[in-house]
Structure 1
Amino acid sequence: MNASLPPIEATVLVAAVEGLPARLRKKLDDAGPRFAGLAVGRDGERYTVAVDDATTVTLLAPGGVVRSAGDVTCTCLLAPNCLHRAGILSNAPVASPDEPAPAEDAPAAAEDTPAVSDGAAVASDGAAVAADEVRSSTVDGASPVEGGGGADELGVVQRAAVEQVWRAAVAVLGGGVGGSGTVARAALLRAAHEAQATKVYRAAAAARVVATLLQAARGGDAHYRLADLTEAMRELLYVAHALRTGASTELGTARRQYHVEGSLRLYGLCTTAVLAGTGHAGVVTYAADRQGRLWMIADVMPGDAKRAARGGDATIAMGETALTHRGLTRAGLVVTGATAAGSRQLGAGRSVRAVTASGAAWHEEPLAGLWAEPVAEQVHRAFAALAVPVTDRTAGADLLFLRVTVRGTDGDAVLAEHADGTPLTLRVAADHAALGYRENLRVLGRAEGLRMLMVARPDPGRPGTVLPLAVAPDDGEPWRVEGHADLAFDRLHASQLPRMELREEEPAPAAGPDPETAAEEVWRPAVHDPALQLLAAQVERTVNGGRVMLTFPTGRAPSTATRLRRARLETGAALLDHLVAAANDRPRNAFGRLADDDGTAFAQAWLATATYADAASRALAEASWLPAGPS
């Protein structure tokens, strides 16, 4: 991806790819990376890219977005059906679809405009995972491919759109990252466009997330993670399969519905950065009312980590208040005529009035009550929330409120202990230089023995691991900070922490630890299951390399399925066996050559395996937190 290019409508890329002759389509995936490093000139709304001395591609972006295929021209003789246009457009970011205007007979609360459409994350923090944008609602680990019957509730056009999404997703899974270039991505974007046009919003949003992550994967984006694409692919296949089989009729919505809440007295808690895989960025600020219920105010728009970093100082668009998001976390609001979505995301309609009021420290009510909830109950609540689609997740339901003591560091992680003795591993919520998470965690890790209050989110993929979002001194600790520190925006320094012996970063010792003292000195990590990790690796390996990755012989070593059975994970082993069999079950033509099938059986087998691996990993991670969990 070339960040210097303007965002384009998905239909612009689709038209450019479909206009290419077959011989040029085969060259497109090789041409795209060559064009990625070309310099982009800009003159107002006109962008120019010089491909060579005789060829220039020009893009017109009225309003900052290229909206029509006619806005992209090339000086070569083959234009408009030339490789230059398609190659340049394949490196441009794809803009999110415009939200439709509310109906004239909508209630007054519909005047509230959400920061992003339902396809983007507003309740997740800066863990740049597109998986958090549209998460599967499968909670109990049951196979999502057992639905039956036809999707009678969908119209004919909607069923056709769902089938188009399904076919495009199956093709991407079969080819993997390596075999899904611009042509496959364009097919996915076309399917997303058709789904959006027929009001199949959830499938459209899921398809856009996968398309965006595919572009990041093939473009060498430093922030791309295979786990994110795997989760997004699982969600896309689940949604499409559930709709096409009639197991679900949930189409999603293009616009959040807001209802009147009346008057609210809010006390600021903290603000977190948001980095979404669809190219959205910004902040989410949490506040509590007098009863201790959490509400959130989101400011998420198309942008990158720099927009998220600036978002903390943006003014809250609500009523007459001039508070910034960071300012609200240390103050309060009196809101009249408040409106909110079902997730307790506050709206900013014309009827909303808000004025600045006094806030409360974390050790004062009503905020102090958040830390009174037992950790076991918090963990159960948070993991239940993480299994719900992010757009339906109640504000703050996935947050943990912990009292921890720093015990040291382990590489890029900080080791800590909860007040009840539970060992914790603290990791960076979003590893981007524009945000302060990593540097702040490094400062905290050097202050061994430091006691603090923490707002964090559990990492469902790593037992006993949390992603700190904000910290404050425990009662009686003499920190030199104003109330608390939002780790994405505030920059901590050792001089702000209590006077204690700060541990210097020491090089690794030349020799190993003394065997007689190793049991006491070596940190005991949280539990993990090697067999489940092997299963998850097979699921991700398929997404990366495609169907062919499961057709290679395992050699003399025990297969993954055998190891799963040895670990008493018989269901996982059976699902993996079925997946491998589906990958190898390829029809042959009359001449004995391999013939393509529609990939449905393989996609269903992968979806069942991925759903099981995700549910089992989450269950293990949750169990590892509890006092009676595995040890």
Structure 2
Amino acid sequence: MSGLPPVTAPALAETLDALPGRLRKKVDDAVTRAAAWTVSTADGQVSVTVDEGTTVTLVLTGGVVRTGSDARCSCLLAPNCLHRVAVLALAPVHDGVDDDPAHAAPADPVDPAPSPVDAGSAAVVGEAERAGAAEPDGDVRAVLTTRQRDAADGLWRAGAAVLAAGTSGSGLVLRTALLRAVHEGRANGLHRASAAGTRVAAGLQALRESQPQFRLAELTDDLRELLTVSHRLRAGNLPAEQSADLLGVARRGYDPQAGLRLYGLCTVPVVAESGYAGTATYVVDRDGRLWTVTDVAPGGADRAARSGDTAVALGEAGLSHRELTRAGMIVSGGTASASGRLGAGKSVRAVRATGAAWTEPPLRALWEQPLDQQVGRAFAALAEPVADRLAGSDLVFLSVRLGGAATGDAVLAETAEGAAVLLTVADDHPELAYRDNMRVLGAGAGLELLVVGRPDPARRATVEALSIGVAPGTGDGLRLPAAWSGHADLGYDRLHRSQLLSGRQGPAVAGRPPATGDPALQLLRRHLERVVSGGRAVHALADDQERRLRRARLDLGAHLLAELASAARSRPRDPFGRLTGDDAETFTRAWVAAAVYERAATQALIEASWLS
């Protein structure tokens, strides 16, 4: 069913609460049937035709269904009927934030991925203990209100219920309970945990609708984020220095900026799982700081492929994004968020200026930073929430020599420091040029290039290549059009094999693709994802394979996995053998501890692989 307006979480919860118990058991089947109902719009109302004698009418306020009474059904059982619930359950959930589009923070130009962490073994132990049982240390305590702690506890309990049931058992009732907790959390300023809860609810809905963008790994990471943050918040004795990070903010403010002299660096397509797409252009000021200019709106990969040629929404410079990446701009009266996203207010004035080559200041300094410092900065940025990352802080700037095609569309390369890396496709949508360009570069063994890329936090020494340029002093092994100003944005510019001049490349790199990760940690990860998929009951019957982790010298991981298995199997019973009340507290804490350990250990291993 398409064409439905957004619905607030309280409206959906209100209609579900009104259902009698006997109808709640049938709600998921009703939602499945509702997908075939016809939607029409007239006079500011949306009508859904159930059958010849039954119609659900949605009354909109500001384009949103805000209360349960705004959904009206003509059947005899109304208002306590399945029709209202089924229609509202299929509608998109309104996030409760009405942003000014001129200053709203755009979607971050990264595909949400598992959040890595820069940690050694001591930090791994500390994080696992804090997530599983221990309270945070510190003399200064931030004062959270009782309502905030209650809201955090509600988010924890809603997430625990989803974890215990698994995706296979999380129907509309559990998803609505989670959305209700998200609404309460957002109303009380728990923005980071609420955002994670929203992503979990969206993941459950995507799985139910068999949407191709559903990823179990992403749902696992979102659930870990929800439970970890809400657990820390509900304790109530949060250290003051950690409160701002864990509470989050609803919206990033845009502050005035002094005159900016900007130089284009590269342009990348943006295709977010949330249904938004567009483009993001990275620019650099005289001091070497990176900023972003974005054009992101509802759409898919086709919009991202087209938006590179749209005009940059800064003043009246008349530059498209693909032109700005090879030119410059002088901006006055500008605004920007603390993370470096440039705003497009009415006061902004901008004129076109000359750009700079990658081999000229101030861009050249990006490639002069030592690799170990770049990797440390990028992985530290990837450990932060997406909205908190400074523009470009998760990028690395590499000088590499290509070693030829590896598996799939990846290309083996060697950095100037002698480290073996794998260049991979940043986005495999066929509308974008990434895949075709990587296949061309796979035939350029020995070619020396400058690369702008983003480390893959889940694979050893792997970088998603975003843009390439010819390395200085290497001749013309790669011949680029003069209009490209010495670099190609791999998401937009299409390379051709004729641009590789045979016999002009340097010696090829000998080697093989780096391993994707540690097998023992991947085994632990599969156990965690199995819990998210099948729930507590499935894991209770599984072999925890603790011995394999101990043989790999992951003793803490083996201990946490054993604790998780024990908690899954431990179910309190009364003298007659019947299950008694169990809030799944121990089981959920055990899963969170194992999940935090797995993330920290994996990211420590991945980061170390860059520096070997």
With normalisation by structure 1, the TM-score equals 0.85
1:593 to 560, 566, 578: 578
Does 2:174 align with 1:174? no
1:523 to 512, 532, 535: 512
| Conserved? CA contact 1:131–1:229, under 8 Å | no
What SS class does the counterpart of residue 149 from structure 2 fall into?
A: helix
Does 2:428 align with 1:431? yes
**Distance (whole Å) between structure 2 residues aligned to residue 303 and residue 59 of structure 1:** 25
State the partner residue of 1:517.
Answer: none
Question: Which amino acid in the other structure matches residue 607 of structure 1?
Answer: V
Does 2:383 align with 1:387? yes
Question: Which amino acid in the other structure matches residue 319 of structure 2?
Answer: L
Report how far residue 14 of structure 1 moved.
2.2
Q: Which moved more, 1:209-218 or 1:148-157?
A: 148-157
Question: Which amino acid in the other structure matches residue 489 of structure 2?
Answer: D
**Distance (whole Å) between structure 2 residues aligned to residue 321 and residue 99 of structure 1:** 29
What SS class does the counterpart of residue 51 from structure 1 fall into?
A: strand
Q: CA 1:434–1:259 in 2, change beyond 3 Å: closer, same or farther?
A: same
Q: CA 1:221–1:43 in 2, change beyond 3 Å: closer, same or farther?
A: same
**Distance (whole Å) between structure 1 residues aligned to residue 19 and residue 307 of structure 2:** 41
What SS class does the counterpart of residue 392 from structure 2 fall into?
A: coil
| Conserved? CA contact 2:2–2:39, under 8 Å | no
Length, aligned pairs only: 586
Report how far residue 602 of structure 1 moved.
1.4
Summarize the alignment of residues 185-224 of structure 1 with structure 2, pairs less than 5 Å apart.
185-224=175-214
Q: CA 1:458–1:367 in 2, change beyond 3 Å: closer, same or farther?
A: same
Task: Please give the per-residue CA displacement for 1:475-521, whole angstroms capped at 9, x wherever unaligned.
Answer: 433123623333333344444x22349xxxxxxxxxxxxxxxxxx99
1:229 to 208, 219, 229: 219
| Conserved? CA contact 1:338–1:347, under 8 Å | yes
Task: Please give the per-residue CA displacement for 1:38-83, whole angstroms capped at 9, x wherever unaligned.
Answer: 4544558554444344434344556654444344333322233322
Report how far residue 573 of structure 1 moved.
0.8
**Distance (whole Å) between structure 2 residues aligned to residue 137 and residue 186 of structure 1:** 35
| Conserved? CA contact 2:118–2:600, under 8 Å | no
Report how far residue 283 of structure 1 moved.
3.0
Does 2:243 align with 1:249? yes
**Distance (whole Å) between structure 2 residues aligned to residue 300 and residue 598 of structure 1:** 42
Q: CA 1:491–1:216 in 2, change beyond 3 Å: closer, same or farther?
A: farther
**What residue ranges of structure 1 are gaps of 5+ in the alignment?**
102-110, 502-519
State the partner residue of 2:5.
Answer: 6
Q: CA 1:551–1:179 in 2, change beyond 3 Å: closer, same or farther?
A: same
State the partner residue of 1:565.
Answer: 550
Report how far residue 136 of structure 1 moved.
8.2
Q: CA 1:380–1:249 in 2, change beyond 3 Å: closer, same or farther?
A: closer
What SS class does the counterpart of residue 591 from structure 1 fall into?
A: coil
**Distance (whole Å) between structure 1 residues aligned to residue 55 and residue 455 of structure 2:** 49
2:151 to 149, 158, 161: 161
Task: Please give the per-residue CA displacement for 1:600-625, whole angstroms capped at 9, x wherever unaligned.
Answer: 22111111110110011111111111
**Distance (whole Å) between structure 1 residues aligned to residue 62 and residue 34 of structure 2:** 24
Q: Which moved more, 1:367-376 or 1:564-573?
A: 367-376
Does 2:410 align with 1:409? no
State the partner residue of 1:361.
Answer: 357
Q: CA 1:188–1:314 in 2, change beyond 3 Å: closer, same or farther?
A: farther
Does 2:608 align with 1:623? yes
| Conserved? CA contact 2:316–2:350, under 8 Å | yes
**Distance (whole Å) between structure 2 residues aligned to residue 137 and residue 302 of structure 1:** 34
Question: Which amino acid in the other structure matches residue 459 of structure 2?
Answer: R
**Distance (whole Å) between structure 1 residues aligned to residue 524 and residue 184 of structure 2:** 35
Q: CA 1:612–1:266 in 2, change beyond 3 Å: closer, same or farther?
A: same
Report how far residue 572 of structure 1 moved.
0.7
| Conserved? CA contact 1:112–1:258, under 8 Å | no
Q: CA 1:95–1:442 in 2, change beyond 3 Å: closer, same or farther?
A: farther
**Distance (whole Å) between structure 2 residues aligned to residue 185 and residue 174 of structure 1:** 13
Report how far residue 266 of structure 1 moved.
0.6
Report how far residue 260 of structure 1 moved.
3.7
**Distance (whole Å) between structure 1 residues aligned to residue 479 and residue 303 of structure 2:** 33
| Conserved? CA contact 1:130–1:229, under 8 Å | no
Summarize the alignment of residues 55-454 of structure 1 with structure 2, pairs less than 5 Å apart.
55-60=54-59, 64-99=63-98, 113-116=103-106, 121-122=107-108, 124-125=109-110, 127=111, 129=112, 140-141=123-124, 142-143=127-128, 144-145=130-131, 146-147=134-135, 153-245=143-235, 246-247=237-238, 248-250=242-244, 251-404=247-400, 405-454=402-451
**Distance (whole Å) between structure 2 residues aligned to residue 300 and residue 40 of structure 1:** 27
Report how far residue 277 of structure 1 moved.
4.0
Q: CA 1:525–1:241 in 2, change beyond 3 Å: closer, same or farther?
A: same
**Distance (whole Å) between structure 2 residues aligned to residue 442 and residue 68 of structure 1:** 53
Q: Which moved more, 1:333-342 or 1:44-53?
A: 44-53
Does 2:610 align with 1:613? no
What SS class does the counterpart of residue 525 from structure 1 fall into?
A: coil
Report how far residue 398 of structure 1 moved.
0.8
| Conserved? CA contact 1:457–1:466, under 8 Å | yes
Task: Please give the per-residue CA displacement for 1:565-607, whole angstroms capped at 9, x wherever unaligned.
Answer: 1011111111111111121221113421122411222111111
What SS class does the counterpart of residue 249 from structure 1 fall into?
A: helix
**Distance (whole Å) between structure 2 residues aligned to residue 95 and residue 586 of structure 1:** 38
Question: Which amino acid in the other structure matches residue 429 of structure 1?
Answer: A
Summarize the alignment of residues 34-73 of structure 1 with structure 2, pairs less than 5 Å apart.
34-42=33-41, 46-60=45-59, 64-73=63-72
What SS class does the counterpart of residue 343 from structure 1 fall into?
A: coil
State, as a whole percentage, how many aligned pairs show the same letter.
Answer: 49
| Conserved? CA contact 2:117–2:599, under 8 Å | no
What SS class does the counterpart of residue 333 from structure 2 fall into?
A: strand
State the partner residue of 2:506.
Answer: none
Question: Which amino acid in the other structure matches residue 163 of structure 2?
Answer: L
Q: Which moved more, 1:324-333 or 1:469-478?
A: 469-478
Report how far residue 395 of structure 1 moved.
1.4
Report how far residue 13 of structure 1 moved.
2.3
**Distance (whole Å) between structure 2 residues aligned to residue 138 and residue 85 of structure 1:** 49
State the partner residue of 1:536.
Answer: 525
State the partner residue of 1:508.
Answer: none
Q: Which moved more, 1:599-608 or 1:482-491?
A: 482-491
| Conserved? CA contact 1:406–1:444, under 8 Å | no
What SS class does the counterpart of residue 410 from structure 1 fall into?
A: coil
With normalisation by structure 2, the TM-score equals 0.87
Report how far residue 209 of structure 1 moved.
1.4
Does 2:471 align with 1:463? no
Q: CA 1:587–1:275 in 2, change beyond 3 Å: closer, same or farther?
A: farther
